[in-house]
Amino acid sequence: MGQEINQTQFDDQVFSEYRCRLSREIALLEEQLSHGIFSAIGEIGGYELESWLVDHNYFPSPINQAFLTRLNNPLVVHELSRFNVELNGAPMPLKGNALSAMAFELNQNWLECQEVAHQMDSVLMMIGILPTVRQSDLCLANMSELKRYRALNEQVFKRRCGRPLRICIHGREHLDIVHPDVMLEAAATSFQVHLQSAQRDAVRYFNASIIAAGPLMAASGNSPLLFDTDLWDETRIPLFEQSVEIGDQPQPENRRVSFGCGYVRDSLFECFAENIAHHDVLLPILIDSPPQQFAHLRLHNGTIWRWIRPLIGFDPDGTPHFRIEQRVLPAGPTIADMISNAALFFGLTRYLATLREPPEALFGFAQARDNFYAAARNGLQAKLTWLDNSTIEARVLLLEEILPMARQGLETLGIGKTDIDRNLGILESRIKSGQTGSTWQRAYCEKYRADSLHLVAAYLEQQRSGSPVHEWAL
């Protein structure tokens, strides 16, 4: 989805040609994997941070085109709406001071972005859902000036025969609305973490990422409010799942945004084959590149938003590789919080992927999926099932089981002790205090009877301090 296009209308011939190219590329992928051609380089991390542009009245500021032009930084790019941008990090081998290096790089880019935003009477903010965003802000007039987004919207509603989307979320309160375009997706911003693995380890890392998603979600909630309605700890999850719903798949696990429908058995090829089997082509962009670039396969994969998604990329020498994109984490509350969340993902996934007995052989996919949604609803108070089939409160599970596993995983990766202690220490303090971004937002609103404007003002003040969320005062 990152590639710009030159058209938004497509005829049947274009769709037919695109499907032919998809067929060639999926066959080539299967052949290359059978011959072990994909990269043997593993344990490389990266990230993408989606953030908000906010004006001095604490409402969304739809200026991303002018902002990006003035910034002129190739690591900062468009997002769906005019009031969002995405900051990308350089891939880093997961060893030594990698976590500190990620934090430093992100902080430097963030400060540069903030300086430009301030020059434009705006500020950048990292939060899963901006409390002041209004449904009226999420309109086509505020869609970024890129044809690929217009084409996506047109294709989604063509398949829906023009029917509006319905968003129905039951949480602490209840939200039930309809919306005429895909712009509701722009209300959900994430911190997406990438993990490149060697071909021989890709299946284990992918399945481990699925198992890790529930505990990871429980520890990181930062999106409780949407349109002044208190919903899930991570309201991004149901919002995104419903905001691009095409209706071409009756089973929830096969929809465009989902947790998926099972572990991988033999190869990540299964995910890409499943994409073609279960999902119609949305954007039939014919790309002038050799099949070995998998351009059409990668674009199709980019229009299917599994919460844990495999990606095809390329090493510096052109060798294709697999990356796992962990999409469950929200943006914010601070860089320190997000890098700690990434450390939890890297460490726990490494631990699970290198157990002598693959945990997916005993721990059912349905259990991992149920953990994910329970954690998205209830955060640290969620009841989760773990590898021994016990059911335990997420807060206790994280402290007693998950953090020690993550520490061991980070140690075997070769991450330095200082980085491990700093990041897992932040997580431990957050979990013990019970104060995630979501619980802080709720507690602030309750204590001060605050509306969304006052909440955003207070949140921004705390975020500017750089202190992790467990240290935020009320």
In a domain, 387, yes or no: yes
Average pLDDT over residues 114-133: 98
In a domain, 4, yes or no: no
DSSP helix/strand/coil, 340: helix
Q: Residue 199: which CATH number?
A: 3.30.590.20
Taking only the tens place, the pLDDT of each residue in 147-157 is 889 999 999 99
What's the rounded Cα separation, in Å, for the pair 32 and 402?
A: 36
In a domain, 170, yes or no: yes
Answer yes or no: are the C-beta atoms of 87 and 113 closer than 8 Å.
yes
Taking only the tens place, the pLDDT of each residue in 295-337 is 999 999 999 999 999 999 999 999 999 999 999 999 999 999 9
Answer yes or no: are the C-beta atoms of 113 and 100 closer than 8 Å.
no
pTM of the shown model: 0.96
In a domain, 2, yes or no: no
Answer yes or no: are the C-beta atoms of 347 and 410 closer than 8 Å.
yes
In a domain, 5, yes or no: no
**CA count, 13 A, side-chain hemisphere, 307:** 31
Question: Contacts by 286-294 with C-beta closer than 8 Å and gap 24+?
Answer: 286/14, 286/17, 286/18, 286/21, 287/3, 291/21, 291/24, 291/25, 291/28, 292/28, 292/320, 294/25, 294/28, 294/29, 294/320
Q: Print the domain residue range for 358.
A: 12-471
Confidence of residue 79 (pLDDT cuts 50, 70, 90): very high
What's the rounded Cα separation, in Å, for the pair 20 and 195?
A: 30
Instruction: Give the model's pLDDT for residue 6.
Output: 59
How many beta carbons lie within 10 A of that of residue 227, not counting itself? 17
In a domain, 1, yes or no: no
Average pLDDT, the chain: 95
Percent of the chain topping pLDDT 90: 94
Q: Which amino acid is at 21?
A: R
Taking only the tens place, the pLDDT of each residue in 362-377 is 999 999 999 999 999 9
What's the rounded Cα separation, in Å, for the pair 110 and 321?
A: 29
Model confidence at 465: pLDDT above 80: yes
Answer yes or no: are the C-beta atoms of 271 and 214 closer than 8 Å.
no
Taking only the tens place, the pLDDT of each residue in 284-304 is 999 999 999 999 999 999 999
Confidence of residue 1 (pLDDT cuts 50, 70, 90): very low
In a domain, 7, yes or no: no
Instruction: Give the model's pLDDT for residue 459.
Output: 98
In a domain, 137, yes or no: yes
With 0-12 / 13-18 / 19 or more C-beta atoms within 10 angstroms meaning exposed / middle / buried, residue 433 is middle
Domain count, the chain: 1
Instruction: Give the model's pLDDT for residue 148.
Output: 87
Instruction: Give the model's pLDDT for residue 3.
Output: 56
**Beta bridge partners of residue 48, listed in sequence order:** 88, 192
Instruction: Determine the angle formed by the axes of helices 202-219 and 365-378, rounding to 10 degrees.
Output: 30
